[in-house]
Amino acid sequence: MTAVAAPANAGFASLDALVRPRSVAVIGASDEPARIGGRPIAYMKERGFDGALWPVNPKRATVQGLPAFAAVEALPAAPDVAIIAVPADQVTPTLDALGRKGCRAVIVFSAGFAEMDEAGAAAQDRLTAVARGHGIRMLGPNCLGVFNDSIRFYGTFTASFEKGFPIPGNIGIVSQSGAYGTHVFSAALDRGLGAPVVITTGNEAEVALGDALGWMAQAPEVEVICAYAEGIRESAQFIAALDLARRNRKPIVMMKVGRSQLGGAAAKSHTASIAGDDTVTQAVLDEFGVVRARTTEEMLDIAYAATKRIYPARNTLGVLTVSGGAGVLISDAAEQAGVEMPPMPEEAQARLRGLVPFCAPRNPVDCTAQVTNNLPLISEFAESVARDGGYTSILSFWSQTAAGRSVGPSLQEQMRKVRTAHPDRLWVMSMLAPNKVRDYEADGWICFEDPSRAVNAIAAMGRFGAAFARAADAAPGPSLPAVTLPAATPSEAVAKALLDAAGVPAVPEHACSDSEAAVMAADRIGYPVVLKILSPDILHKSEIGGVLLDVGDAAAVRQGFGTLLDRARRHAPAARIEGVLVAKQIKGAVEMALGVLRDPVFGPVAMVGLGGVFIEVLKDVGFRRCPFDAAEAERMIRGLRGFPLLDGARGRPKADVAALARALSALSAFAVAAGPRLAGVDVNPLLVLPDGQGCFAADAVVEVDG
């Protein structure tokens, strides 16, 4: 459950037998090509699978013209992979026989397991145990299988090939839902996008999403990965896969559904998945630069643009347009998507104005319909945007002009010339010319009808590029402190001492068992002070009136000590009282809340937010998997909507954001070092003083599992 080092690629290559087999057995093979046990054989025969194909059927001598075997035991050798398409109650014995035969990879189509009911879940557990016992990598059960068109292997019963077999391409698809995975495949096919490798993981009893992603991250067949997930069941392989894909510069665009409460409900009824907290999932995807698609169309838009494998580390967008209106629309879309559009250099602007007096050459560069009267101007403008503007991405908007008899041919020729001269740029064309798209694509263009979709895809390429660059520059994580947790949830004083030792500074304070000790402590700290009841049994002190503020002198300390003990006795008579905590009262600070939660999938996750309404009403918080360094902590803090309050808004002094970031990073390292008994941490408030003066935990709870 804790963070793991990324394994070598080799770990993921263990799926080779599943996705790139040289011999395939089909258990439950059918002579009818349209049946579940018949389809894989029919597809591989039709397309010419380049390996051995062994149907197993006790009742027939041949299946679809191939010699059939009566049982697993009768097979000539252990197949690289076996497809299991038998009734649910025969799956486990079949798997066991395959294991004994020496087979180490299976695809289980059969349904009737965890997706059904409790009994099915128990049967699935037994199945998994048998697979593990034999060291078998098992896809499914209840999955639609896998295909790899590069070797004509179709270990799937999808009916989507009725529309057409895969076409060449470099997109791989991983999906927990078989129907949705093939939907994406089929939608890609309709757009002329080749996705030759598809893996559907079904119930994920053994092979899960992370394994499949990891295989693609190291496989030469795949350069761009589309993934569909309803819930992430394991973290180590998943994290390792995201990390490997990023290091190998293979972008992942993911549809993770179940964001909505509605969607969450449906996800549960659809699969046996544990829908992890979406906020945590989002934080993990952000960490590795996975771009999350909101729609299938957006997923394919991004995958399409990614097939060019141009990922600018710092993305700047130059726009060339024949319509000023479209230029404005594109600017709006770019700002929305967070893509910078720096202006053209002044000299270049002046030169373009000399060519077309009423053009708007800033960026967007509106060359106006004038260029259609003087066609060579088109390449003058395009060349200037590329050369003088130096943009990494260039979007060129031609509307229906590109389809016109009068302008179309010259436009294509001139734009081809400029594109060829600058092959390192991400060149994107927005035009209304359905019959020209294939021609432009042959020239190497990425084509979108809608300019907003083009901008969105361009933005994603920049996000991938930034993530790939971050991976290359990544500093080692923070060093972990030595942490020894107490046997159970400690008192506030112990909690703060633990955190203070780990680098989350505590407010100066003393635990005092009698009122005279409290007065001495207060004298040392300086007035005013805060008094708090001290008890391992009272976690939320303010609920019983256990906190006194603005205690101004020795007499007030004496009186306050008595008041707190009275209140504790009255409201929490069973609580063990250890005395009173005397602390420096800090004023004029910004109140933050820091915390750690233990995600069931991803382990310890740190949180930061501004105190009060920001957290409670607006849910304005940042999350990240532990541990992380101070630079990452500062990125989280700067991402808060309320960040201006730390940055001098409303006439305040700027707060010590650097100290806050150090404390947050230290908390993340503490959470990992503390190990799995750490159930959670709340540091609330953490008081952040003006720049240079640090920050202090004023209250803290460290929850420990006993």
Give residues 41-80 in contact with its own copies (rule: CB under 8 A): none
CB of 86 to its own copies, least distance (A): 18
Cβ proximity to its own copies, 92 vs 349, nearer residue: 349
Query: Which range in 76-84, 180-188, 209-217, 241-249 contacts its own copies by CB under 8 A?
Result: 180-188
Cis peptide before 627 (omega within 30 of 0): yes
How many angstroms separate the CA atoms of 313 and 249, rounded?
12
687, 591 in Cβ contact below 8 A?
yes
Which of 413, 513, 649, 675 touches its own copies (CB under 8 A)? 649
How many angstroms separate the CA atoms of 213 and 239, rounded?
10
551, 528 in Cβ contact below 8 A?
yes
Which run of H or E residues covers position 227? strand 224-229
163 binds its own copies (CB under 8 A): yes
Which of 323, 392, 412, 665 touches its own copies (CB under 8 A)? 323
Instruction: Please state at what angle helix 377-387 crosses helix 408-421, rounded to 10 degrees.
Output: 30
Which of 133, 325, 639, 692 touches its own copies (CB under 8 A)? 325
Half-sphere exposure at residue 131, Cβ-oriented, CA atoms within 13 angstroms:
23
566: CB partners within 8 A, 6+ apart? none
Tokens 């602390």 locate to 583
CB of 145 to its own copies, least distance (A): 14
x/- letters, 419..458, toward its own copies (CB under 8 A): -------------x-x--------------xxxxx-----
180 binds its own copies (CB under 8 A): yes
659 binds its own copies (CB under 8 A): no
Interface positions, 387-416, toward its own copies (CB under 8 A): 399-401, 403-406
How many angstroms separate the CA atoms of 545 and 532, rounded?
9
* Strands 23-27, 81-84: pairing kind: parallel
Cβ proximity to its own copies, 528 vs 612, nearer residue: 612
Interface positions, 195-234, toward its own copies (CB under 8 A): 228, 230
CB of 431 to its own copies, least distance (A): 10
What is the separation, in whole angstroms, between the first and last Cα of the chain?
18
Residue 440: other Cβ atoms inside 10 A: 21
Cβ proximity to its own copies, 77 vs 265, nearer residue: 265
Cβ proximity to its own copies, 120 vs 478, nearer residue: 120
Q: For its own copies, how many residues bind (rule: CB under 8 A)?
A: 85
Which of 236, 360, 471, 679 touches its own copies (CB under 8 A)? 360
Q: Which two tokens stand for residue 615?
A: 């957290």
How many angstroms separate the CA atoms of 238 and 236, rounded?
5
Cβ proximity to its own copies, 645 vs 673, nearer residue: 645
24, 147 in Cβ contact below 8 A?
no
295 binds its own copies (CB under 8 A): yes
Query: Which range in 217-225, 497-505, 636-644, 660-668 contacts its own copies by CB under 8 A?
Result: 636-644
Cβ proximity to its own copies, 261 vs 479, nearer residue: 261
Which of 204, 206, 243, 366 touches its own copies (CB under 8 A)? 366
Please return the burial class of 361, using the count of CB atoms within 10 Å of its CB with bins 0-12, 13-18 and 19+. buried
Which of 57, 148, 156, 177 touches its own copies (CB under 8 A)? 177
Cβ proximity to its own copies, 117 vs 514, nearer residue: 117
542 binds its own copies (CB under 8 A): no
Which 3-state string (H, E, C) describes 267-336?
Answer: HHHHCCCCCCCHHHHHHHHHHCCCEECCCHHHHHHHHHHHCCCCCCCCCEEEEEECCHHHHHHHHHHHHH
Which of 376, 644, 648, 676 touches its own copies (CB under 8 A)? 644
CB of 209 to its own copies, least distance (A): 13
x/- letters, 470..509, toward its own copies (CB under 8 A): ----------------------------------------
Which of 4, 8, 34, 119 touches its own copies (CB under 8 A)? 34
Which of 121, 266, 554, 565 touches its own copies (CB under 8 A)? 266
Tokens 């969450």 locate to 264
661 binds its own copies (CB under 8 A): no
How many angstroms separate the CA atoms of 339 and 458, rounded?
8
CB of 325 to its own copies, least distance (A): 3
Cβ proximity to its own copies, 329 vs 660, nearer residue: 329
Cβ proximity to its own copies, 199 vs 645, nearer residue: 645
Q: Which two tokens stand for residue 108?
A: 């289980």
Interface positions, 326-345, toward its own copies (CB under 8 A): 326-329, 331-336, 341
Which 3-state string (H, E, C) describes 496-560?
Answer: HHHHHHHCCCECCEEEECCHHHHHHHHHHHCCCEEEEEECCCCCCHHHHCCEEEEECCHHHHHHH
Q: Which two tokens stand for residue 255?
A: 């549809």
Interface positions, 579-618, toward its own copies (CB under 8 A): 613-614, 616-618
Cβ proximity to its own copies, 368 vs 491, nearer residue: 368
CB of 165 to its own copies, least distance (A): 13
Cβ proximity to its own copies, 215 vs 614, nearer residue: 614
How many angstroms separate the CA atoms of 690 and 514, rounded?
34
Which of 22, 270, 309, 571 touches its own copies (CB under 8 A)? 270
Which of 28, 166, 172, 364 touches its own copies (CB under 8 A)? 364
576 binds its own copies (CB under 8 A): no
Which 3-state string (H, E, C) describes 446-468?
Answer: EEECCHHHHHHHHHHHHHHHHHH
